[in-house]
């Protein structure tokens, strides 16, 4: 028995030593990653300063140099935000180990301008000594924490005063605890942070343009300082994003789509992708709140939707892009995804051949319009008219209406398309539009809506979610890095979800950034857009 006990003690000691080494390795890895991110940001910062000095010395010699500086500023913005994320992650690891923390060098922040008004917010003073309970306490001084906050078109600095009191009985010093900030080492208030985030990701205004505008308003804040706060906010908002992701992937039916995003690369830009998966049950009177989940990728490969929807099973409403085909395999784990294709995409191919006004603008004669394509558009439009009339009904009522009204039109369309296809050459553009619906046995995926009232006729929900990205591409030009693309997808998930629930994204972000530091994990769901009550005070803020 003694040998067994000693062997058991030896194994426990070995296990404890192994766990300690693993924790130390994890801490060292996190700190190394933070050091690398900080070093990259510092190098980019110095290169940007050199480029600006050269521009000042030699003048505005070319538009290319100006564009180069814009690109470098965007890269610095992404690196600073990434460095802050890694630093906060390293600090979380260090708290669980005995390893020393990382001390990152930051550009010295200038004091807040003296001309800004100061608003004193005095925390209630203690009425008794926190040590002995005596009421013989007198004020001996105060500590002031300054937070830069913004009211639309009006800047101010809020001075949070924590008065100090000393006890005449025991000489114990009493002082209220320091207030929580939305971000670590926070100097910006939640309204200012929300404005920075929404203008960058919702209004497509890069941080360098925001810095220029703030300077014109008399408040000089560096690009690095704003980027630092963007990274900190991304880390702070992770619990909200995690709940949105879980909510979207809990759906039985999703809309999916992707769009191009220019990614800054060596020697120019490359075409990256921004993907979205939308949960929207409102068309069939579902009571579940709508939400959108975004992902960023360097390419449009099949591996991306496989990674995004790993472990998910349900009905996916998308276009006929072959990158989703791996999800439909019968041997997929946990099971195949059911395909539901978009009639808007199919109609679009016929419409391009039947667009009289569009062809006239291109200088093409009217007789070039295909009568077959024109007839196909008219037949598909009749099906869409039925859908508009039943939008918002329950899934059962939609299925009944489709069986009575839509099914005869779909069956007639199928027979007519088959007959027309047999008379056309395979090189005819109309034949290619027809083949889009029949190729690779796609017709069952197009007609699945006749059997399931939850399905939509089109994938417009996903296209609406991506509309803001398409409109903003010309403004923000490109993503500065892959981490920057991931961060943009993170923030788009929050902003688009808020819009889908008729919530002002900026007001919502300001409120949850203010409340998150003091919110327990069990109460975080109360901050989701569909649970957030927009009272007048919040809207005014």
Position 269 scores a pLDDT of: 76
Which of 62, 95, 128 is a domain's end point?
A: 95
Q: Choose among 142, 125, 131, 126: nearest CA to 169.
A: 131
**Residues 6 or more apart whose Cβ sits within 8 Å of residue 384:** 343, 347, 457, 458
Around Cβ 77, how many Cβ atoms within 10 Å?
28
The separation between the first and the last C-alpha atoms of the chain, rounded to the nearest angstrom, is 71
Q: Are residues 218 and 252 in the same domain?
A: no
Which of 467, 487, 519 is a domain's end point?
A: 467
**Element containing residue 157 per DSSP (H, E):** strand 154-167
Q: Are residues 309 and 427 in the same domain?
A: yes
Residue 85: inside a domain, yes or no? Answer: yes
Total domains present in the chain: 3
Task: Find the DSSP H helices in 159-222.
Answer: 190-197, 207-216
Main-chain phi, psi angles of 313, to 5 degrees: -140, 135
Residue 106: inside a domain, yes or no? Answer: no
Q: Which residue has the tokens 């395979």?
A: 426
Q: Are residues 388 and 509 in the same domain?
A: no
Position 63 scores a pLDDT of: 45
Distance between CA atoms of 498 and 235, rounded to whole angstroms? Answer: 19
Q: Which residue has the tokens 């004193």?
A: 120
Q: Are residues 307 and 348 in the same domain?
A: yes
Q: Are residues 208 and 263 in the same domain?
A: no
Write the CA distances from 59 to 44, 49, 55, 469, integer angstroms. Answer: 22, 15, 5, 35
Question: Contact 41/80 with Cβ under 8 angstroms?
Answer: yes
Distance between CA atoms of 20 and 226, rounded to whole angstroms? Answer: 37
- Look up the domain containing 55 and give its range: 12-95
Per-residue pLDDT of the chain (541 residues; tens, 9 = 90+): 567 777 777 778 888 888 877 777 777 777 777 777 777 777 666 666 666 665 555 554 444 455 566 666 666 677 778 878 878 877 777 665 555 555 555 556 778 888 899 999 998 888 899 899 898 999 999 999 898 988 777 899 999 899 999 999 998 999 998 878 888 777 899 999 999 999 999 988 889 889 999 999 899 999 888 999 999 999 999 999 999 999 999 999 999 999 998 887 776 778 899 999 999 999 999 989 999 999 999 999 999 999 999 999 999 999 999 999 999 999 998 999 999 999 999 999 998 888 755 554 555 555 567 889 999 999 999 999 999 999 999 999 999 999 999 999 999 999 999 999 999 988 899 999 999 999 878 999 999 999 999 999 999 999 999 988 876 666 655 666 888 889 999 999 999 999 999 999 999 999 999 999 889 999 999 999 999 864 444 455 5
Q: Are residues 203 and 76 in the same domain?
A: no
Residue 100: inside a domain, yes or no? Answer: no
Which of 450, 467, 484 is a domain's end point?
A: 467
Q: Are residues 336 and 383 in the same domain?
A: yes
Q: Are residues 333 and 460 in the same domain?
A: yes
Q: Are residues 167 and 90 in the same domain?
A: no
Residue 177: inside a domain, yes or no? Answer: yes
Q: Are residues 291 and 355 in the same domain?
A: yes
């Amino acid at each position: 028995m003694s040998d067994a006990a000693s062997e058991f003690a030896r194994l426990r000691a070995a296990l404890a030593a192994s766990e300690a080494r693993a924790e130390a390795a994890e801490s060292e890895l996190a700190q190394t990653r933070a050091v690398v991110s900080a070093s990259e940001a510092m190098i980019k910062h110095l290169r940007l300063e050199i480029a600006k000095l050269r521009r000042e010395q030699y003048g505005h010699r070319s538009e290319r140099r100006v564009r180069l500086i814009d690109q470098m500023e965007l890269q610095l913005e992404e690196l600073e935000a990434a460095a802050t994320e890694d630093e906060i992650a390293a600090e979380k690891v260090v708290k669980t180990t005995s390893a020393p923390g990382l001390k990152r060098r930051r550009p010295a922040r200038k004091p807040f301008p003296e001309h800004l008004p100061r608003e004193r917010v005095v925390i209630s003073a203690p009425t008794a000594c926190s040590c002995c309970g005596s009421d013989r306490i007198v004020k001996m001084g105060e500590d002031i924490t300054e937070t830069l906050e913004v009211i639309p078109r009006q800047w101010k600095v809020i001075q949070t005063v924590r008065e100090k009191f000393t006890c005449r009985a025991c000489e114990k010093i009493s002082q209220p605890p320091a207030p929580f900030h939305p971000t670590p080492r926070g100097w910006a208030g939640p309204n200012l942070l929300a404005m920075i985030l929404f203008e960058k990701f919702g209004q497509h205004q890069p941080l360098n343009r925001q810095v220029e505008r703030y300077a014109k308003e008399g408040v000089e804040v560096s690009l690095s300082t704003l980027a630092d706060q963007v990274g900190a906010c991304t880390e702070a908002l992770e619990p909200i994003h995690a709940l949105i992701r879980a909510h979207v992937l809990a759906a039985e039916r999703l809309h999916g789509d992707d769009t191009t995003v220019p990614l800054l690369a060596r020697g120019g830009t490359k075409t990256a992708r921004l993907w979205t998966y939308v949960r929207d049950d409102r068309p069939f009177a579902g009571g579940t709140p709508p939400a959108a989940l975004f992902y960023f990728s360097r390419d449009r490969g099949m591996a991306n939707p496989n990674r995004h929807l790993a472990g998910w099973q349900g009905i996916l409403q998308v276009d006929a892009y072959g990158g989703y085909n791996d999800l439909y395999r019968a041997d997929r784990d946990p099971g195949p995804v059911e395909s539901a294709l978009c009639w808007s995409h199919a109609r679009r191919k016929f419409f391009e051949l039947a667009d009289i006004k569009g062809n006239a603008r291109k200088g093409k004669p009217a007789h070039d319009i295909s009568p077959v394509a024109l007839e196909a558009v008219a037949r598909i439009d009749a099906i869409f008219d039925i859908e508009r009339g039943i939008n918002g009904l329950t899934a059962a009522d939609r299925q009944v209406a489709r069986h009575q009204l839509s099914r005869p039109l779909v069956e007639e369309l199928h027979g007519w398309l088959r007959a027309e296809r047999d008379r056309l050459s395979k090189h005819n553009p109309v034949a290619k539009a027809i083949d889009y619906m029949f190729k690779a046995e796609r017709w069952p995926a197009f007609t699945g809506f006749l059997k399931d009232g939850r399905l939509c006729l089109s994938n417009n929900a996903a296209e609406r979610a991506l509309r803001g990205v398409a409109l903003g591409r010309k403004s923000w030009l490109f993503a500065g890095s892959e981490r920057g693309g991931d961060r943009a997808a993170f923030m788009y998930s929050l902003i688009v979800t808020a819009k889908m629930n008729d919530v002002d994204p900026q007001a919502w972000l300001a409120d949850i950034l203010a409340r998150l530091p003091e919110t327990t994990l069990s109460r975080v769901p109360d901050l989701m857009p569909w649970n957030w009550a927009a009272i007048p005070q919040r809207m005014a803020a």
